[in-house]
Amino acid sequence: MILIEISDDAKHEITTKHFQDIQKNSKKIIEHLEALKKYDALYNYLVDIRVENDESIKGLRIENLKPLICANSKKQLMDQIIVMENLLKGIVFSQKANINDIRRDILVVFEKVYTNFSNRKWAYDFLRILNNDVCPYCNRTFTMFINNKQKPEFDHYFPKNMYPYLAISIFNLIPICSNCNRGKSSNHVSIDKQNILYPYEEEFANDITFTTDFDKIESWTNRDEQFAIKLVGENEDVISAYNNAFKIDELYSLHSDYARDLYKKSIITNEDFIINLYRSFPELFDSVTEVKELVYGVYLDKAGYGKRPLSKMINDLLNEITKN
């Protein structure tokens, strides 16, 4: 729904620190990877074994692991899926192994590595760098965190039951609310289709918007009257996926009180009123936009949607009111 704004410098910082964190914990990770030794090609792809003074020294195979865990775009993640799927197909052919058994074994190992990561300080530092306070899937719930105590849940954008080797790929991890994490399933995102948008690169913007029926005046004067707030747009597959996974239309219709108050504010605080406030309190506001943001309680620039819940809905409905 909304974009997690992240600069190239922040991406570089995240991938660098993530790789350093994995290296720092490589001994424990290699211990977990021992469970995959029965799949020679996979094990040797991830673990480097060299002999020094007649002694075997094990380390992570950096040239293969780094692109996997530090892929920083949807394309790079999909490229890694292709690489890993070809590797797994080779194992199926050479060892007559069952692909589902291989995925299950990889998942057991990588879930342990992911759990350890999610409990370390780096997981909280990652969230601090992202600096996104609202769930990007629903834009309804805060995802703020308290160091080493409480944090949002991580969604695996490409589902870990389908692509278990991406379980610790840092930009496959999306900080979201618990409701959305329960709702999203493997049905909506795969290498073939992504009807749930990738929040690090994609957003609804003006292609998909919230709307309601502003013609029914009784809805705006009767607090007991409820009315529908729904998504509209050309991409019906995406809208259907968000409603199926996150129940967006149902949940947002529960916020009809916000829409009602927004409609009333738009009448009371017309443009002249806003400008008058700005001129009356120049020490409080740097712009007319700041006054509007105070009145409506959200940031009007989409770059701020990740700071306050319901920002996307309120902006869309405000634009609709303005047009009417």
Please tell me the total number of residues recorded for the chain in this structure. Answer: 324
Report the pLDDT value the prediction gives residue 278, as an integer from 0 to 100.
Answer: 94
Contact between 135 and 152 (Cβ < 8 Å):
yes
DSSP for 144-178, please give it. Answer: --BTTTB-PEEEESS-TTTSGGGTT-GGGEEEE-H
Give the separation between CA 185 and CA 159, rounded to whole angstroms.
8
> What pLDDT, in 10s, does the model give residues 25-59?
999 999 999 999 999 999 999 999 875 555 667 89
Residue 152, pLDDT above cutoff 80: yes
Which of 79, 87, 75 lies closest to 45 in space, CA to CA? 87
| CA–CA–CA angle 199, 202, 208 (5° rounding) | 110
Q: How many CA atoms lie within 13 A of 180 on its CB side?
A: 26
Report the pLDDT value the prediction gives residue 90, as an integer from 0 to 100.
Answer: 96
Average pLDDT, the chain: 90
The secondary element (H helix, E strand) that includes residue 209 is strand 208-211
CB atoms within 10 A of CB 230: 16
173: pLDDT confidence band, cut at 50, 70 and 90? very high
Secondary structure class of 25 (helix, strand, coil): coil
Read off φ and ψ for residue 303, nearest 5 degrees.
-65, -20
Mean pLDDT of 283-295: 92
> What pLDDT, in 10s, does the model give residues 54-89?
566 789 999 999 999 999 999 999 999 999 999 999
> What pLDDT, in 10s, does the model give residues 104-116?
999 999 999 999 9
DSSP-derived letter for residue 152 is P
30 CA to centre of own chain? 29
The more confidently predicted of residues 8 and 255 is 8
Report the pLDDT value the prediction gives residue 19, as an integer from 0 to 100.
Answer: 96
Report the pLDDT value the prediction gives residue 51, as an integer from 0 to 100.
Answer: 59
Report the pLDDT value the prediction gives residue 88, as an integer from 0 to 100.
Answer: 97
Percentage of the chain modeled with pLDDT above 70: 93
